[in-house]
Structure 1
Amino acid sequence: MPVRLFSYLRSQLTLLGVLVIGILWASCDAGITGDYIENQAPSTYMTIAGIDREDEFRLSSQIRISWWGNDPDGYVAGFEYAINDTSEGAWSFTTRTDSTFILPITEGQTVDDVLFKVRAIDNDGAKDPVGARLRYPIINSTPSAAFKPTETPADTMFGIASFGWTIDDPDGLLNVRSTQIAFNDTLNGWVDIPFNATNNGELFISVSVDNKTVGIKTGQVYLGRSYSSAIDGEGNPILVSGIEVGATNTAYVRTIDAAGAVSMRDQVQWYVKQQKSKVLFLNDIGKNSSLDDMNWHLSYLSELGIDPDIWLINTGQPALGTIELSDQFPKVVNPTLKKTLSQWDHIYWVSDDVDRNIVHALDITSEFFAGGGSMFVTIPMKEVSQEDVIFNFLPVDSIGFFPPGGIETGFVINAGTEITPVDEPNAPTLKLESRVVGWYPLQAVSGSTLLYESDYRSTTLLGFITDYTLMEGVSIKNTEGNLIYFGMDLTKLNGNNNMKDFIEYMCLQQLGFQQ
Structure 2
Amino acid sequence: MRPANATISVSALVLFCAGLWAGCDSGFSGDPFENQPPNTSLSVRDTSLVDNLEGADRFTSTVYITWSGDDPDGFVQSYEIRFYDELEKLGPEDGWSATTSTDSLVLLPIPRGEREANIAFEVRAIDDLGAKDPTPARTVFPIENGPPSIRFSPFDLPPDTTFSVISAAWTASDPEGAANIRAIQIGLNDSLNLVDLPFNTEFITLTGQIDINDASQVEVDARVYLGRGYTPSDIFIPGLKLNAVNTLYIRAVDATDTTSTLERISWYTKKQTSEVLYVDDFRTTDSPTLAAYHLNLLREYLPAGAPIDLWTITTPFVTGSAGLVPRSDQLPPNANPTVRQMLAQFKYIYWMSTNTTVSQTGDNLPFVAGVMDIFFGNGGKLMVHSPIALPPSPDDNLGNAAILLLPLTDLITFPEGLRSSLRLFQNAPVDPLVVTLPGTGEPMPALVASATLLSTLPYVVGGSDVLPIYSAAYRAISSAGSLVDWDGPTTIASISTDQRVGLFALPMINSFSGQEVLIGADGDTAAPRRAIHLMLESLGFPK
> Structure 1 residues 412 and 203 mapped into 2: Cα distance closer, same or farther (>3 Å)?
same
- In structure 2, what is the equivalent of residue 377 of structure 1? 384
Tell me, what secondary structure is at the counterpart of 2:280? strand
- In structure 2, what is the equivalent of residue 273 of structure 1? 270
Q: CA deviation at 1:269?
A: 0.5
Tell me, what secondary structure is at the counterpart of 2:295? helix
Range moving further from structure 2, 143-152 or 261-270? 143-152
- Whether 1:414 aligns to 2:425 is yes
Alignment of 1:446-485 (within 5 A): 446-447=463-464, 448-460=466-478, 465-485=483-503
Report the TM-score when normalising by structure 2.
Answer: 0.69
Q: Following the alignment from structure 1 to structure 2, what is the Cα–Cα distance between the partners of residues 441 and 82?
A: 75
Q: Following the alignment from structure 1 to structure 2, what is the Cα–Cα distance between the partners of residues 298 and 92?
A: 77
Tell me, what secondary structure is at the counterpart of 1:437? coil
Q: Following the alignment from structure 1 to structure 2, what is the Cα–Cα distance between the partners of residues 244 and 172?
A: 36
Tell me, what secondary structure is at the counterpart of 1:436? coil
Q: CA deviation at 1:284?
A: 1.2
- In structure 1, what is the equivalent of residue 238 of structure 2? 241
Q: CA deviation at 1:358?
A: 2.5
For residue 203 of structure 2, what is the amino acid of its counterpart? F
Alignment of 1:9-48 (within 5 A): none
- In structure 2, what is the equivalent of residue 493 of structure 1? 518
Q: Following the alignment from structure 1 to structure 2, what is the Cα–Cα distance between the partners of residues 204 and 487?
A: 39
For the Cα contact (< 8 Å) 1:181–1:252, is it kept in 2?
yes
Tell me, what secondary structure is at the counterpart of 2:430? strand
Tell me, what secondary structure is at the counterpart of 2:190? coil
- In structure 1, what is the equivalent of residue 196 of structure 2? 192
Q: Following the alignment from structure 2 to structure 1, what is the Cα–Cα distance between the partners of residues 431 and 90?
A: 84
For residue 339 of structure 1, what is the amino acid of its counterpart? Q
Tell me, what secondary structure is at the counterpart of 2:456? coil
Q: CA deviation at 1:267?
A: 0.5
Where does structure 1 lack aligned partners over 5 or more consecutive residues?
Answer: 1-46, 65-80, 118-132, 197-201, 231-236
Q: Deviations over 1:61-86 (max 9, x none)?
A: 4799xxxxxxxxxxxxxxxx996998
For residue 290 of structure 2, what is the amino acid of its counterpart? D
Alignment of 1:225-374 (within 5 A): 225-230=228-233, 237-305=234-302, 306-317=306-317, 322-354=324-356, 355=358, 356-374=363-381
- In structure 1, what is the equivalent of residue 204 of structure 2? 205
- Whether 1:219 aligns to 2:222 is yes
Q: Following the alignment from structure 1 to structure 2, what is the Cα–Cα distance between the partners of residues 246 and 92?
A: 63
Which of 440, 443, 448 pairs up with 1:431?
Answer: 448
For the Cα contact (< 8 Å) 1:63–1:102, is it kept in 2?
no
Q: CA deviation at 1:416?
A: 2.5
For the Cα contact (< 8 Å) 2:58–2:144, is it kept in 1?
yes
- In structure 1, what is the equivalent of residue 459 of structure 2? 442
Q: Following the alignment from structure 1 to structure 2, what is the Cα–Cα distance between the partners of residues 386 and 61?
A: 57
Q: Following the alignment from structure 2 to structure 1, what is the Cα–Cα distance between the partners of residues 191 and 161?
A: 22
For the Cα contact (< 8 Å) 2:166–2:206, is it kept in 1?
yes
Q: Following the alignment from structure 1 to structure 2, what is the Cα–Cα distance between the partners of residues 218 and 84?
A: 49
Q: CA deviation at 1:324?
A: 3.2
Q: CA deviation at 1:49?
A: 10
- In structure 2, what is the equivalent of residue 502 of structure 1? 531
- Whether 1:512 aligns to 2:540 is yes
RMSD over equivalenced CA pairs, Å: 3.5
> Structure 1 residues 116 and 325 mapped into 2: Cα distance closer, same or farther (>3 Å)?
same
Q: Following the alignment from structure 2 to structure 1, what is the Cα–Cα distance between the partners of residues 199 and 291?
A: 44
Q: CA deviation at 1:113?
A: 4.2
Q: Following the alignment from structure 2 to structure 1, what is the Cα–Cα distance between the partners of residues 339 and 378?
A: 14
Range moving further from structure 2, 370-379 or 463-472? 463-472
Alignment of 1:51-130 (within 5 A): 51-52=48-49, 54=53, 58-61=58-61, 97-98=95-96, 102-104=109-111, 112-114=116-118
Q: Following the alignment from structure 1 to structure 2, what is the Cα–Cα distance between the partners of residues 393 and 452?
A: 19
Tell me, what secondary structure is at the counterpart of 2:146? coil
- Whether 1:157 aligns to 2:162 is yes
Range moving further from structure 2, 411-420 or 331-340? 411-420
Q: Deviations over 1:332-376 (max 9, x none)?
A: 211111111221111111112233322324323233223321111
Q: Following the alignment from structure 1 to structure 2, what is the Cα–Cα distance between the partners of residues 413 and 268?
A: 49
Tell me, what secondary structure is at the counterpart of 2:168? strand
Q: CA deviation at 1:275?
A: 0.7
Tell me, what secondary structure is at the counterpart of 1:414? coil
Tell me, what secondary structure is at the counterpart of 2:155? helix
For residue 232 of structure 2, what is the amino acid of its counterpart? S
For residue 348 of structure 1, what is the amino acid of its counterpart? Y
For the Cα contact (< 8 Å) 2:339–2:368, is it kept in 1?
no
Where does structure 2 lack aligned partners over 5 or more consecutive residues?
Answer: 1-41, 65-82, 98-106, 122-137, 437-442, 510-516
For residue 224 of structure 1, what is the amino acid of its counterpart? G
For the Cα contact (< 8 Å) 1:454–1:473, is it kept in 2?
yes
> Structure 1 residues 181 and 316 mapped into 2: Cα distance closer, same or farther (>3 Å)?
same
Q: CA deviation at 1:272?
A: 1.1
Q: CA deviation at 1:405?
A: 3.3
For residue 474 of structure 2, what is the amino acid of its counterpart? Y
> Structure 1 residues 386 and 103 mapped into 2: Cα distance closer, same or farther (>3 Å)?
closer
For the Cα contact (< 8 Å) 1:386–1:398, is it kept in 2?
no
Q: CA deviation at 1:431?
A: 2.9
For the Cα contact (< 8 Å) 2:85–2:117, is it kept in 1?
no
- Whether 1:172 aligns to 2:177 is yes
Q: Following the alignment from structure 1 to structure 2, what is the Cα–Cα distance between the partners of residues 191 and 174?
A: 20
Q: Following the alignment from structure 1 to structure 2, what is the Cα–Cα distance between the partners of residues 164 and 402?
A: 46
For the Cα contact (< 8 Å) 1:62–1:103, is it kept in 2?
no
Name the structure where helix makes up a greater proportion of residues. 1
For the Cα contact (< 8 Å) 1:152–1:162, is it kept in 2?
yes
Report the TM-score when normalising by structure 1.
Answer: 0.72
Q: Following the alignment from structure 2 to structure 1, what is the Cα–Cα distance between the partners of residues 173 and 382?
A: 45
Q: Following the alignment from structure 2 to structure 1, what is the Cα–Cα distance between the partners of residues 366 and 112?
A: 55
Q: CA deviation at 1:203?
A: 0.8
Tell me, what secondary structure is at the counterpart of 1:205? strand
For the Cα contact (< 8 Å) 1:361–1:393, is it kept in 2?
no
Q: CA deviation at 1:134?
A: 9.4
> Structure 1 residues 177 and 462 mapped into 2: Cα distance closer, same or farther (>3 Å)?
closer
* Percent identity of paired positions between Structure 1 and Structure 2: 28
- Whether 1:181 aligns to 2:179 is no
> Structure 1 residues 96 and 511 mapped into 2: Cα distance closer, same or farther (>3 Å)?
farther
